């Protein structure tokens, strides 16, 4: 069932000297209960796009449907009611330092007019859901970054929202804490069935939790689809950059390794293979060396877990004569394995 639909949505900010096209002709459907990743570099328009979901920004043209409601048609008071059904967490947590953790979590209920007793009871329950049951009387400044984001998540869930927007929620956290928070989001998605929209510039976050991804660049969605498809068959240049960065770690280090290999051995091709969970690297590699007069040297390989199985990446060098190398590349491309020729004489 479709929960959220962006229909040809554009947002243009009128600045003094020019019009800034923050979002351009975006069409996107997000299903109920899905974790949908929206990835892009900063300034790509991701935040503007989701801020139109709860009316913090209004689209210049196009329609945004949540369930049956068209967000632009809502009156101010209807919009406030609609906002209560959408929880939001932020990069910098945006907790109120003047309130205790418990009262921060209770704030959305306070705004909704829930009685004090009921809202504190609910807030305590939410704090235990995020593993902070003992910190209710502390102030946010006494917590670590990861704990603050847990409070942010508990607060976002206070009104039992149907949708949770995560706006770069892990971008200010260290890698370990990021994984904890991402696990918590996955857990919440499974237990409460909330639709989560994950905005990020880190492929890592999307890879860990999302089942679908949209890639944004300069206000447009340049590619979208299931996570595995995007990972194993990236088409757009930006998508490739994100995927490669995630698959291979430090690009610069890899590049200098490759440069060295190419320099010392300029006759042999280097290719990158990306496998998804159902395929496996080893048989392919061994079958190549059996079928063709080619020896294979592995330069780098790794496997990453996603929600829907593993994704492997392998960078290999084909050692043999030029014609045989060509045949191997053709063969791999026929196998429907994402093959990128990094270097070929």
Partner 1 sequence: MSNQGLGSYFKFNSVNWDDIWNATGETVWMTVISMILVAIFGIILGLILFETKNKGGFWSHLINIVVSFLVNIFRSIPFIILIVLLLPFTKAIVHTIIGPEAALPSLIISATPFYARMIEADLREVDSGVIEAVRSMGANRWDVIWKVLLPESTPALIADGTVTAISLISYTAMAGAIGSGGLGQLAYIEGFESNNNTVTLVATIIILLFVLIIQFLGDKWAKRCDKRNL
* Of the residues 4, 95, 199, 271, which one makes contact with partner 1 according to CB under 8 A: 95
Binding-residue pattern over the window 137 to 176 for partner 1, x denoting contact by CB under 8 A: -xxxxx----------------x-----------------
* Of the residues 41, 112, 115, 286, which one makes contact with partner 1 according to CB under 8 A: 112
Could you say whether residue 298 binds partner 1 (CB under 8 A)? no
CA–CA separation, 75 and 6 (whole Å): 19
Could you say whether residue 83 binds partner 1 (CB under 8 A)? yes
Residue span binding partner 1 (CB under 8 A) among the ranges 121-129, 135-143, 210-218, 305-313: 135-143
CA–CA separation, 334 and 187 (whole Å): 39
Contact 133, 164 (CB under 8 A): no
Residue span binding partner 1 (CB under 8 A) among the ranges 26-34, 107-115, 295-303, 327-335: 107-115
* Of the residues 56, 193, 260, 333, which one makes contact with partner 1 according to CB under 8 A: 56
CA–CA separation, 338 and 341 (whole Å): 10
Between 76 and 264, CB nearer to partner 1: 76
Q: How far is the CB of 78 from partner 1 (least distance, A)?
A: 10
CA–CA separation, 82 and 56 (whole Å): 12
* Of the residues 69, 84, 125, 327, which one makes contact with partner 1 according to CB under 8 A: 84
Q: Could you tell me where the DSSP H helices lie in the chain?
A: 46-51, 76-84, 101-111, 116-129, 145-156, 175-192, 203-209, 227-232, 237-248, 251-264, 281-291, 322-334
Total residues at interface with partner 1 (CB under 8 A): 28
Between 142 and 282, CB nearer to partner 1: 142
Q: How far is the CB of 54 from partner 1 (least distance, A)?
A: 5
Could you say whether residue 335 binds partner 1 (CB under 8 A)? no
CA–CA separation, 209 and 191 (whole Å): 14
Q: How many CB atoms lie within 10 A of CB 253?
A: 11
Angle between helices 251-264 and 237-248 (to 10 degrees): 90
CA dihedral 165, 166, 168, 174 (to 10 degrees): 180
Q: Which residues contact partner 1 by CB under 8 A?
A: 54, 56, 80-84, 86, 88, 90, 92, 94-99, 107-108, 110-112, 138-142, 159
């Amino acid at each position: 069932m479709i929960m959220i639909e962006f229909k040809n949505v554009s947002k243009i900010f009128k600045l003094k000297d020019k019009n800034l096209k923050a979002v351009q002709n975006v069409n996107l459907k997000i299903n109920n209960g899905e974790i949908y990743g929206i990835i892009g570099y900063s300034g790509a328009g991701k935040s503007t796009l989701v801020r139109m979901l709860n009316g913090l920004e209004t689209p210049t043209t196009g329609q945004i449907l949540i369930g049956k409601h068209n967000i632009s048609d809502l009156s101010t008071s209807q919009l406030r009611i609609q906002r209560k059904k959408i929880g939001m967490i932020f990069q910098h947590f945006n907790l109120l330092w003047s309130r205790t953790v418990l009262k921060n979590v209770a704030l959305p209920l306070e705004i909704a007019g829930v009685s004090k007793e009921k809202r504190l009871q609910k807030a305590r329950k939410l704090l235990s859901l995020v593993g902070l049951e003992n910190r209710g009387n502390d102030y946010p400044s006494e917590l670590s970054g990861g704990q603050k984001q847990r409070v942010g998540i508990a607060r976002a869930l206070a009104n039992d929202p149907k949708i949770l927007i995560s706006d770069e929620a892990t971008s200010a956290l260290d890698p370990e804490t990021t994984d904890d928070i991402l696990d918590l989001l996955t857990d919440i998605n499974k237990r409460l069935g909330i639709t989560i929209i994950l905005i990020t510039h880190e492929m890592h976050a999307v890879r860990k939790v999302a089942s679908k991804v949209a890639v944004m660049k300069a206000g447009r969605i340049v590619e979208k689809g299931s996570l595995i498809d995007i990972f194993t068959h990236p088409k757009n240049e930006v998508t490739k950059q994100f995927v490669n960065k995630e698959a291979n770690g430090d690009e610069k280090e890899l590049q200098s390794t490759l440069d060295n290999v190419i320099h010392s051995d300029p006759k042999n091709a280097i290719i990158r293979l990306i496998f998804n969970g159902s395929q496996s690297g080893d048989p392919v590699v061994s079958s190549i060396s059996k079928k063709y007069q080619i020896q294979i040297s592995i330069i780098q390989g790794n496997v990453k877990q996603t929600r829907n199985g593993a994704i492997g990446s392998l960078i290999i060098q084909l050692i043999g004569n030029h014609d045989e190398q060509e045949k191997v590349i053709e063969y791999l491309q026929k196998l429907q394995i994402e093959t990128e020729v990094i270097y070929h004489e």
